[in-house]
Structure 1
Amino acid sequence: MHVQEWLDSVPAVAVYAVVALVIGVESLGIPLPGEIVLVSAALMSSQHSHIDPLILGVCATAGAVIGDSIGYAIGRKGGRPLLAWLGRKFPRHFGEAHVATAERSFQKWGMWAVFFGRFIALLRIFAGPLAGVLHMPYWKFLIANVLGGICWAGGTTAAVYYVGVVAEGWLKKFSYVGLAAAVLLGLATMLVVKRRAKKARREPSQPAAEPVRAGD
């Protein structure tokens, strides 16, 4: 079966459910690629008419808000021992340095950390549980959680959907040879940048100049 035909055969309900589940579990505090799943589903909706971008955005928002709320309840009940346990299970995401950074953001920005944290991968995982651990008032958390979920999930879905529609129209006007050339140019640029970065790291730093003595 052709890939296009297979994608057309995927039930829309399954796409909505997977997006809501993955984003909800990520918001609960478990590291999952929620943003990648949402972007992929939004691109699918731009190419396949049976996937409604509006329903997709609503499901993504619901998953984000519900997952964050559950994470808040777990964090409020589990407290600091929960963060320590998560640090042992997921050291790359819940290490002491990451927890300290997220905690400073919460202490400085309060409910705005919950709102803007939805757009930052690390804080997106931390927001719910950490807000509960720090005993943020639930009404503040809920307002920031709902607004952040709507702006992030709905905004991402709309933006990626329209980009996909425009890209499809662009590809119809130009040949795939032009697309291949653009991809190769992008890869070449990326390789050059990486090579220069490695070269810069290997170069020894310049020795500091010795201070001039009074008698010299």
Structure 2
Amino acid sequence: MHINEWLQTIPPLAIILLVGFVIGLESLGIPLPGEIVLVSASLLAAQHVVSPVAVAGAAMTGAIVGDSIGYAIGRKGGKPLFVWAGRKFPKHFGPAHLATAEKAFERWGMWAVFFGRFIALLRIFAGPLAGALHMRYWKFLTANALGGIVWAGGTTAVIYYLGIVAEKWLSRFSWIGLLAAVLFGIGTAWFMKRRAAKAAAELESDAEPDPVSKPA
């Protein structure tokens, strides 16, 4: 069962709590599909199953609180924590993943926490690694809060309004009409591409010297 289908079977309050819980655990450093849960909940909001404001608020809270807990864990455990995690979960915390995250922190500093909210790998590493590298907490909290608000609020708003628009379009046109429009668009793009390739081939042919004709 897809996450979106499963979420439709539980009460709205449980959906809100689940969004905050999953995103909080992911931000803490546990590899979970936080973004998928947020997108699915935002689509349900577009279907008026749950409030989009509540979804965004839960995601923001989970992101900020989870990252802060991850920061505290990383500051206490240090880099040995990542070595241990790399042995236990090599697919998510292997040396290559850690090296990539460290390079991001070296390049962007506190803004690695902000931008990390939008990148799956850094979203898991940002909090614990910032703590392990002893980033000042006020810098971390600033970037963490901004990243959580922009990512959670932006993702919810975009998916919500796209869902509203898609629902309106699908209510006006039948599936057959929609399919015909998609096929027509694909066919037109293919035809134009073939025409452009043929024109380019003709230009190249005209530009090449004639191998038969020789100067007198």
Partner of 2:27: 27
Distance apart, 1:185 and its partner CA: 9.3
Q: Does the aligned pair in 1 maintain the 2:78–2:131 contact within 8 Å?
A: yes
Change (3 A) 1:184 1:31: farther
Per the alignment, in what secondary structure is the counterpart of residue 60 of structure 2? helix
Q: Percent identity?
A: 69
Distance 1:181 1:91, change over 3 A: farther
Query: What is the aligned partner in structure 1 of residue 15 from structure 2?
Result: 15
Say what the alpha-carbon RMSD is for the aligned residues: 2.4
In structure 2, how many angstroms separate the alpha carbons of the residues matched to 1:40 and 1:183? Answer: 24
Partner residue in 2 for 1:170: 169
Q: Corresponding residue for 1:60?
A: 59
Relative to the length of structure 2, the TM-score reads 0.79
C-alpha separation in 2, matches of 1:185 and 1:82: 55
* Change in 2 beyond 3 A, CA 1:83/1:164: same
Matches within 5 A, 1:1-216: 10-48=10-48, 50-180=49-179
Distance 1:7 1:131, change over 3 A: closer
Deviation at 1:183, TM superposition (A): 7.7
Using the alignment, how far apart are the partners of 2:103 and 2:53 within structure 1?
Answer: 36
In the alignment, the residues of structure 1 paired with residue 180 and residue 76 of structure 2 have an alpha-carbon distance, to the nearest angstrom, of: 55
Give 1:62 shift: 0.1
1:9/1:94 CA distance change after superposition, 3 Å: closer
Distance 2:108 2:72 in 1: 20
Structure 1 unaligned runs (5+)?
A: 1-5, 187-216
Question: Residue type matched to 1:70 in 2?
Answer: I
Q: Which runs of 5+ in 2 are unaligned?
A: 1-5, 186-216
Q: How many residues align structurally?
A: 183
Look up the equivalent residue of 1:62 and give its one-letter code: T
Structure 1: how far apart are the matches of 2:177 and 2:54? 34
How far does residue 34 in structure 1 lie from its aligned partner after superposition?
A: 0.4
Per-residue Cα deviation, 1:53-87 (whole angstroms, up to 9, x for no partner): 01110110000000000000000000111001111
Of 171-180 and 104-113, deviating more is 171-180
Q: CA deviation at 1:179?
A: 4.1
TM-score (norm 1): 0.79
Runs of 4+ in 1 over 6 A off after TM superposition: 6-9, 182-186
Q: Which residue of 1 aligns with 2:195?
A: none
The aligned residue for residue 207 of structure 1 is: none
Aligned position for 2:214: none
1:21–1:7 CA distance, 2 compared to 1 (3 A):
closer
- The change in CA–CA distance for 1:183 and 1:76 in structure 2 (over 3 A counts) is farther
How has the CA–CA distance of structure 1 residues 179 and 95 changed in structure 2, closer, same or farther, with 3 Å as cutoff? farther
Distance 1:168 1:69 in 2: 38
- Give the aligned residue type for 1:123: L
CA distance in 2, matches of 1:140, 1:7: 36
Deviation digits for residues 148-182 of structure 1, max 9, x if unmatched?
Answer: 00000000000000000000000011111244567
Post-superposition offset of 1:121: 0.5
Letter in 1 for 2:27: S
53 and 139 in structure 1: CA distance in 2 versus 1, 3 angstrom threshold: same
Shift of 1:11: 1.6
